């Protein structure tokens, strides 16, 4: 599935991922291939992405995530890698 992490300043990440874990406002959750559509708010915390090369972490200060048609878009207030 395809993931984009975007802040008001720039595109932080764009690429294929196998899984992504998010710090949801009501608890953390993970999105896998062919996940059902959803929209959720994000709390401060880490986004963990799993790719064929391993795992990467991004720290967000909150935002929104949308999952639709095997594409994930994260609109984050700010991100530190």
Calculate the alpha carbon distances from 70 to 18, 40, 61, 80 in Å: 11, 16, 24, 25
Task: Express each pLDDT in 25-64 by its tens digit.
Answer: 999 999 999 999 999 999 999 999 999 999 999 999 999 9
- pLDDT level of residue 80 (50, 70, 90 thresholds): confident
Task: Express each pLDDT in 3-16 by its tens digit.
Answer: 999 999 999 999 99
Assess contact for 50 and 60: CB atoms under 8 A.
Answer: no
């Amino acid at each position: 599935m395809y993931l984009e992490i975007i802040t008001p300043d720039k595109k932080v990440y764009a690429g294929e991922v196998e899984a992504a874990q998010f710090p949801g406002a009501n608890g953390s959750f993970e999105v896998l291939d062919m996940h059902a559509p959803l929209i959720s708010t994000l709390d401060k915390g880490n986004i963990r992405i799993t790719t064929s090369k391993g795992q990467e972490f991004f720290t967000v200060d909150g935002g929104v995530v949308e999952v639709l048609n095997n594409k994930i878009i994260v609109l984050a207030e700010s991100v530190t890698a």
